[in-house]
């Protein structure tokens, strides 16, 4: 809801590029937004949160100017309150690797006039100032290269009393090469090559006495066949491929292997999840832009035959229409139970979804509803189960009034036993089978320095045959404060508490308690994170983490934790890490990092250098690395 509100209030964005001569340019970001602060973040600052602070100019626009080279390629987003905002008026865009896009500025293309300042505008070359000298920069090709690459070595040790022994040493390596852009005019494409992705154990507890053999094998592998050795003895392979044609009257897109399915959001649910892989392939046929808008009436239609669901043949289709504040949506999903014999695709029982949705928007108020009917149960009983068991629905009534500083919504959801989304994430979006849920959510900005939040829900079994009448209630109040306003401390505080209450708890289950609590204190040069994690049975974990940037751009990270409960193998935990992005443009400025982890893992085992947090504590959970220590060194590229 926060992201939608922020996007909804973004009414103006512009990039102003000036040729300074001598191979240099200035780039000014302008953004109109009602937030009390705004940042721009991107490749120019190595995506260091929260980015570069923007200032209000005389026209009331957020503004930030940087100097760059005429050969630079810059990716960026706007950033405020932990929300990343894509600039849909950017000169170009690039896949951000998380299902969205970054704004993209290829300076040479804009200087030459090959790319306009705004999408759809006429391309005009940017003139250099009078008397300026320098080499004329030719426009680059539209196809862009990016990569996600890291190498690291991890040594694992035991920490439990009596078992403090060497466990193993591993080499972890991953390198995904990404090509994205117009393969030929009007033929956009995307492909990814997995150069390596695996783990190689070059020393284990069993052969710790033969350390020389492991080091020799690693050295030989690095010299002779590095991609094969570091990739876990797997050959490089084409991992993802998608391309298409963007016609004015018809659009076509196809994808294979690890390419994500084209995401589709209906009014309440994401009915096509981009995390679902294309597998054996899909083709999407969609109306072109000239057929999707007729004055105030908007219309959209598409069909997508595919073999993306475990190789079974299937297809989906949708129709969507909107007029002023009224919008209707219908989607049909299908998946055969036959893989190889095409003559039987439609002769056997098929999994089917019928999904209908409606949205009504009036000023700051909205009503959204979604209904799902599944025509196939896991046991094949298509018509023998009641419709209620194959149905799911959700209704959301809400308001979003920036003038009052109020956002609020109330929703009701119900999911039958066999209801499922073929191409979406059923459990995360529909909730647990045979349950119904009422939820409320609200946010109130009391002043520009204080905001209050509340999320609460009550969930109970919806199956009338279920004798358990327990109502599980969760409540999560939160606050966001600028402490300088109240106690003259230059910091911002975010804090929350999450609790639960069961009206009829099962045997051995508490009637009332606290799942977790957390807080973040953000100072100018460092951040403090605290979390109490009580969500794991018989294990409570308190953690305190800190990160700060010190001299020469080195970021230090440290943390400590305390476990209690019968499920805990160890009580004390701590971590110490550091990383630095090297100033080496010719080597694409890699980041080097080192970490020592003792009974806790705030990096979630991802072999990367940033904390991976959930609720201001380790996303890996209370029991991760309990009883083990890791020593890790690595280097990574991500651009």
Q: How far apart are the first and last CA of the chain?
A: 29
Whether the pLDDT of residue 259 is over 80: the answer is: yes
Whether the pLDDT of residue 31 is over 90: the answer is: yes
Amino acid 290: pLDDT: 86
Mean pLDDT of 369-382: 74
Spatial CA neighbour of 595 closest among 616, 571, 613, 611: 611
Mean pLDDT of 136-154: 73
Amino acid 186: pLDDT: 60
Amino acid 36: pLDDT: 87
Which tokens sit at 560?
């400590």
Task: Give the number of other Cβ atoms within 10 Å of residue 75's Cβ.
Answer: 22
Whether the pLDDT of residue 344 is over 90: the answer is: no
Q: How far apart are CA 273 and CA 257, in angstroms?
A: 15
Q: pLDDT band for position 630 (50/70/90)?
A: very high
Amino acid 226: pLDDT: 79
Which tokens sit at 68?
């760059």
Task: Please tell me which residue, 101 or 508, carries the higher pLDDT value.
Answer: 101
Task: Please tell me which residue, 578 or 205, carries the higher pLDDT value.
Answer: 578
Cis peptide before 117 (omega within 30 of 0): no
Task: Please tell me which residue, 380 or 358, carries the higher pLDDT value.
Answer: 358
Mean pLDDT of 368-386: 74
Q: How far apart are CA 335 and CA 387, in angstroms?
A: 19
pLDDT, tens digit (0-9, with 9 covering 90-100), for 396-408: 999 988 878 899 9
CA 449 to chain centre: 28
pLDDT above 90 covers a percentage of the chain that reads 41
Q: pLDDT band for position 210 (50/70/90)?
A: low
Pseudo-torsion of CA 130, 135, 141, 144, nearest 10°?
-100
Amino acid 302: pLDDT: 96
416 exposed, middle or buried (CB, 10 Å; 0-12, 13-18, 19+)?
Answer: buried
Amino acid 348: pLDDT: 60
pLDDT above 70 covers a percentage of the chain that reads 87
Q: Is 344 helix (H, G, I), strand (E, B) or coil?
A: helix
Cis peptide before 50 (omega within 30 of 0): yes
Say if CB 257 and CB 279 are below 8 A apart: yes
Whether the pLDDT of residue 7 is over 70: the answer is: no
Beta carbons within 8 Å of 41's beta carbon, 6+ residues apart: 47, 48, 49, 50, 51, 52, 76, 77, 78, 79, 84
pLDDT, tens digit (0-9, with 9 covering 90-100), for 54-73: 999 988 899 999 999 888 88
Spatial CA neighbour of 267 closest among 395, 158, 148: 395
Average pLDDT, the chain: 85
Domains of the chain: 1-134 (2.60.40.10), 247-433 (no CATH), 440-524 (no CATH)
Amino acid 396: pLDDT: 96
Task: Please tell me which residue, 151 or 304, carries the higher pLDDT value.
Answer: 304
Q: Tell whether pTM > 0.75.
A: no
- Please report, for the chain, how many H helices and E strands are present, in that order: 6, 39
* Residue 619 phi, psi (nearest 5): -70, -20
pLDDT, tens digit (0-9, with 9 covering 90-100), for 114-144: 778 777 666 666 767 765 555 445 455 567 7
Amino acid 78: pLDDT: 95
Length of the chain measured in residues:
639
Mean pLDDT of 301-305: 96
Q: How far apart are CA 104 and CA 492, in angstroms?
A: 31
182-191, 287-296, 483-492: range with lowest mean pLDDT: 182-191
Amino acid 268: pLDDT: 93
Amino acid 6: pLDDT: 44
Q: pLDDT band for position 324 (50/70/90)?
A: confident
Q: How far apart are CA 559 and CA 209, in angstroms?
A: 33
To which H or E segment does residue 227 belong? helix 226-230
Q: How far apart are CA 256 and CA 240, in angstroms?
A: 6
pLDDT, tens digit (0-9, with 9 covering 90-100), for 584-621: 888 888 999 999 999 999 997 665 788 999 999 999 88
Amino acid 131: pLDDT: 58
119-133, 417-431, 474-488: range with lowest mean pLDDT: 119-133
Q: How far apart are CA 306 and CA 278, in angstroms?
A: 8
Amino acid 600: pLDDT: 93
Mean pLDDT of 524-551: 90
C-alpha dihedral sign at 79, 80, 85, 90:
negative
Do the bridges between strand 591-598 and strand 628-638 make them parallel or antiparallel, or are there none, so unpaired? antiparallel
Whether the pLDDT of residue 214 is over 80: the answer is: no
Q: Is 264 helix (H, G, I), strand (E, B) or coil?
A: strand
Whether the pLDDT of residue 427 is over 60: the answer is: yes
């Amino acid at each position: 809801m926060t992201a939608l509100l922020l996007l909804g209030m973004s009414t103006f964005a512009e990039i102003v590029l000036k040729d300074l001569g001598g191979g240099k340019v200035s780039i000014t970001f302008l953004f109109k937004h009602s937030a009390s602060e705004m940042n721009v973040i991107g490749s120019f600052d190595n995506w260091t949160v929260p980015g570069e602070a923007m200032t209000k100019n005389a026209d009331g626009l957020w503004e930030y100017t940087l100097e760059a080279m005429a050969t630079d390629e810059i990716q960026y987003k706007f950033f405020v309150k932990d929300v990343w905002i894509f600039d849909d008026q950017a000169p170009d865009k690039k896949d951000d690797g998380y299902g969205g896009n970054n704004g993209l500025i290829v300076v040479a293309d804009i200087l030459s006039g090959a790319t306009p300042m705004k999408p759809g505008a006429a391309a005009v070359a940017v003139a250099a100032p009078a008397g300026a000298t320098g080499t004329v920069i030719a426009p680059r090709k539209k196809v862009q290269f990016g990569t996600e690459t890291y190498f690291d070595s991890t040594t694992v040790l035991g920490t439990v009393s009596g078992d403090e022994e060497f466990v193993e040493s591993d080499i972890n390596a991953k390198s995904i090469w990404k090509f994205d852009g117009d393969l030929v005019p009007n033929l956009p494409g995307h492909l990814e090559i997995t150069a390596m992705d695996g783990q190689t154990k070059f020393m284990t507890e069993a052969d710790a006495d033969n350390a020389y053999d492991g080091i020799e094998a690693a050295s030989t592998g690095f010299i002779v066949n590095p991609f094969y050795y570091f990739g876990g003895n797997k050959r490089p392979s084409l991992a993802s491929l998608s391309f298409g044609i963007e016609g004015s009257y018809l659009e076509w897109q196809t994808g294979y292997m690890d390419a994500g399915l084209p995401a589709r959001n209906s009014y309440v649910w994401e009915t096509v999840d981009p995390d679902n892989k294309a597998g054996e392939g899909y083709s999407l046929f969609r109306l072109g832009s000239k057929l999707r808008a007729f004055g105030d009436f908007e219309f959209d239609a598409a069909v997508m035959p595919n073999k993306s669901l475990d190789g079974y043949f299937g297809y989906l289709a949708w129709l969507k229409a909107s007029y002023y504040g009224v919008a209707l949506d219908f989607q049909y999903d299908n998946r055969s139970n036959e893989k190889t014999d095409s003559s039987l695709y439609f002769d056997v029982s098929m999994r089917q979804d019928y999904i209908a949705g409606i949205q009504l928007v009036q000023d700051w108020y909205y009503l959204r509803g979604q209904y799902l009917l599944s025509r196939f149960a896991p046991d094949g009983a298509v018509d023998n189960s009641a419709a209620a068991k194959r149905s799911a629905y959700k209704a959301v009534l809400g308001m979003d009034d920036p003038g009052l500083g109020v956002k609020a919504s109330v929703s009701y959801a119900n999911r039958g036993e066999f209801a499922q989304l073929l191409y979406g994430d059923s459990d995360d979006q529909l909730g647990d089978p045979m349950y119904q849920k009422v939820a409320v959510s609200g946010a109130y900005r009391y002043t520009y320095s204080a905001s209050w939040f509340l999320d609460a829900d009550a969930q109970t079994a919806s199956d009338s045959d279920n004798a358990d009448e327990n109502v599980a209630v969760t409540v999560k109040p939160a606050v966001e404060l600028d402490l300088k306003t109240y106690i003259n401390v230059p910091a911002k505080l975010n804090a929350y508490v999450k609790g639960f209450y069961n009206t009829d708890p099962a045997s051995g289950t508490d009637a009332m308690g606290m799942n977790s609590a957390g807080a973040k204190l953000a100072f100018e040069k460092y951040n403090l994170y605290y979390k109490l994690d009580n969500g794991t049975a018989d294990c409570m974990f308190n953690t305190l983490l800190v990160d700060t940037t010190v001299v020469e751009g080195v970021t230090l990270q440290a943390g400590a934790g305390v476990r209690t409960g019968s499920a805990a193998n160890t009580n004390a935990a701590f971590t110490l890490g550091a990383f630095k992005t090297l100033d080496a443009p010719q080597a694409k400025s890699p980041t080097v990092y080192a970490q020592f982890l003792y009974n806790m893992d705030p990096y979630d085992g991802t072999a990367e250098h940033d904390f991976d947090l959930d609720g201001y504590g380790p996303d890996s959970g209370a029991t991760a690395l309990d009883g083990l220590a890791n020593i890790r060194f690595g280097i990574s590229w991500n651009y």
